[in-house]
Structure 1
Amino acid sequence: MDSYLNTLHAAATESEAVQVIQRLLEDESIYHFGRVLDSPKARELATSEQPNAYWSLLELFSFGTLSDYKAASTQLPELTERQLEKLKHLSLVSLASVSKVLPYDDLIRELDCAHEQQMEDLVIDTIYKGLLSAKLDQQRRLVEVEFVVGRDVRRGDLQAIYDSLDKWSAVCEKELNTLTVGVNTAEQELVSKRAKEREFTFALQDLHMEHASSGGEPESLARYDSQYTSSEYQNEERRTGASDF
C-alpha cells in the first residue's frame, strides 16, 4: 500500500493519479482502500469541478458491492476482468458480514455467477485469500460462514458503530454484574452450609463423648448417627477428628 501512496503523491497530473488507482484496484493483495481515499491526491479527484469517475469507483470498491456497480455502471468506468473478480470477492465479504448462512441461489444471483460451480470457485478463492473462513455444504446448498474480515467504513457510519459498541458494552456489564451477584450469593450459601455442617458435627461429637462417659452409646444414638449424618458430615467429622491428633 505504501508504494501506491507514494506513487499517487508523486503524480503530476490527474491522468497519472487515475493510472495509480487503476493498478491499485487490480492488485489482488489489497482489499482495503481507506488510506488512499484519505490521501490529498485522491481528494483532489473528488473535489474537482467534475469529480473523476475513478474516485467514485474507488469509493465503490471501498464500501460497495457488485450490485451497486451494476446500478451505477453507466456513470462508472468499465471494469477489467481482475477488477470484476476483486469486486465479487468484496461483495461476498459484505454478504458474509450480514449473514452467517448464505444460500447458494442468493450467492449465484448477487455475485452474477453463470452456474453453481463458478460460485463455489469464487467462494473458495475468497477463502484462500484470507478474506473469509467458511464451509460449503453442497448437500443443503449453503455456505456457512465462520469468520470474515472487516471492510472499510465510511466516516458517516462511525457514530452508529460507536453507539452499537456502547450498547454491547452495557449489556456485557449488566450480565457481568448479574454473574458477580450470583457468585457472591453461592459463596455465602456455601460458607453458611459449611458452618452448619461443623456445628452439627461438633454437637454430635459432644453427644458421643457424653454417652461414652456414662457407660456406652445407646442404640438410638447410633441409629441417629447413621441415619442423619450425611456423607459430607461424616467426611467433615473424620477430617475434624484427624486434626485433633
Structure 2
Amino acid sequence: MAQVKALNALEFINCPTYSLSWLSPSRQPRPRAAADLVTRATSTPSTYVFAELLQSPQIQALSQAPEYAQYYTLLEIFSYGTYSDYRATQNLPSLNEQQTLKLRQLSLLTLAKNPHNLSYASLQSALGLSDARALEDLVISAIYADLITAQLDPHNQVVHVSSVSPLRDLAPNSIPAMLASLQDWSSRCTTTLADLEAQIAAIKDTAAQKHSEKKAWTSKTEELIEDEKSSDKGAHGRQQTNMISRAVAGMRSGGRYGKRDRGGNSIEDEADDDEAMDLDDNQEFNEGFEGGSAGAGKKRVNRRKM
C-alpha cells in the first residue's frame, strides 16, 4: 500500500503541462525547473520512490549543469542513500523540515535491514538525532506512514523491527552484490536442509532400532512366561498323580473293614463300623442269655458304652 502511494505521488511528473514548463523557448531543458522539481519531490508527503524521476532525461541533464549538479546528487541520496551520506557530502542544498524528516525515515528503512544494529545509541548517531525522545518520535512517524512495523523498547534502549516496506531504490551496480547475497543465502538454505534431512534420517533409524529391540524383548518375555507355565503345569500333574497312587495303595492294604484314618469322614467307612458293632452286640447278647450270668450282662452293658 505504501509503495502504491509513493508511485501515485509522482504522477505530476508525467503531466504534459508541467513537462512543458521544463523547456525553454528553444525547447531546451531548464535546469532551474528540474532543480525545483527535485526540491518539490523530496518535500512532498508520501513520496518515497524516486527512481523514475531520477532516470528522466531532464533530471539526468542536471548532472551536466555545474550550477545545479548538487540537486542531482541530493536526489540520488533520497533514492538510495542515507542521512549519513548527506552529512558526509559537501556542497549539497540545505534541507527543509519536510526533507529532513523524509530522509531520516528513508535512512531508517535501510538501517532496519540490520536487526543487530538497532540500538538507540546507534540509530541516534546514524540519523543525527540528539536524544532518545527524538528517535522515538521518528520511529513512530515511520510506523504511522506504513514504512515499517516496529516496537519501541525504552527499557533496553532498542527498536524491534518486524517488517520493512520495499520503498528504497537500488544503487547503481548493486545488482551483482545482491545476486551474490542471494546465492549465499540459497547455499545456506541448501546446507541447512541437508542437515535437517540427515538428522531426520538418524532419528528414524534410532526409532526403528528401538522398536526392533522392544519387539525382540517382548517376544523373549512371552517365551519365558510360556515356559514357566508349562513347567508349573507338569509339576502339578506329577504331584496329583502321586497323591492318587498313595490313596489307592492305602485302600488296598486296609481291606474292607480296615482301620479308618484318623479324622476320616467317609460315609462308607462309618456304615462298615456300625455293622461290625451290631454283630458284636448280638454275639454278646447270645452268650449272656445262654450262660445266664449277671457278670456277662454287665460286661455286655460296658461294651455297649464303649
Shared fold by TM > 0.5? Answer: yes
- Residue in 2 aligned with 1:63? 80
Shift of the 140–215 alpha-carbon distance from structure 1 to 2, 3 Å rule, reads closer
Shift of the 139–192 alpha-carbon distance from structure 1 to 2, 3 Å rule, reads closer
CA deviation string 1:142-201 (max 9, x = no partner): 434444345222131221121122112112211211111121122122122212322332
- Unmatched runs of 5 consecutive residues or more in structure 1: 219-245
Q: Quick one: distance in 1 between partners of 2:234 and 2:53?
A: 92
Shift of the 80–179 alpha-carbon distance from structure 1 to 2, 3 Å rule, reads same
Counterpart secondary structure, 1:164: helix
Structure whose CA Rg is larger: 2
- Residue in 2 aligned with 1:86? 102
- Residue in 1 aligned with 2:10? 4
Aligned residues: 216
- Residue in 1 aligned with 2:242? none
Q: Quick one: distance in 1 between partners of 2:116 and 2:217?
A: 57
Give me the identity figure in percent: 31
Q: Quick one: distance in 2 between partners of 1:104 and 1:186?
A: 44
Deviation at 1:214, TM superposition (A): 4.4
Q: Quick one: distance in 2 between partners of 1:16 and 1:217?
A: 115
Which one of the candidate residues 169, 180, 184 is aligned to 1:163? 180
- Residue in 2 aligned with 1:97? 113
- Range that drifts further, 7-16 or 52-61: 7-16
- Residue in 1 aligned with 2:128? 112
CA contact (8 A) 1:100 1:145 kept: no
Q: Quick one: distance in 2 between partners of 1:108 and 1:180?
A: 44
TM-score w.r.t. structure 2 length?
Answer: 0.59
- Range that drifts further, 11-20 or 23-32: 11-20
TM-score w.r.t. structure 1 length?
Answer: 0.72
Shift of the 101–204 alpha-carbon distance from structure 1 to 2, 3 Å rule, reads same
- Range that drifts further, 198-207 or 54-63: 198-207
Residues 1:138 and 2:144 aligned together: no
- Residue in 2 aligned with 1:231? none
Shift of the 116–183 alpha-carbon distance from structure 1 to 2, 3 Å rule, reads closer
Pairing 1:35-46 to 2, within 5 Å after superposition: 35-46=52-63
Q: Quick one: distance in 2 between partners of 1:167 and 1:135?
A: 30
Q: Quick one: distance in 2 between partners of 1:25 and 1:193?
A: 68
Q: Which amino acid aligns with 2:133?
A: Q
Counterpart secondary structure, 1:156: coil
Q: Quick one: distance in 2 between partners of 1:181 and 1:140?
A: 39
Pairing 1:123-202 to 2, within 5 Å after superposition: 123-150=139-166, 151-202=168-219
- Unmatched runs of 5 consecutive residues or more in structure 2: 1-6, 23-29, 236-306
Deviation at 1:58, TM superposition (A): 1.1
CA contact (8 A) 1:66 1:110 kept: yes
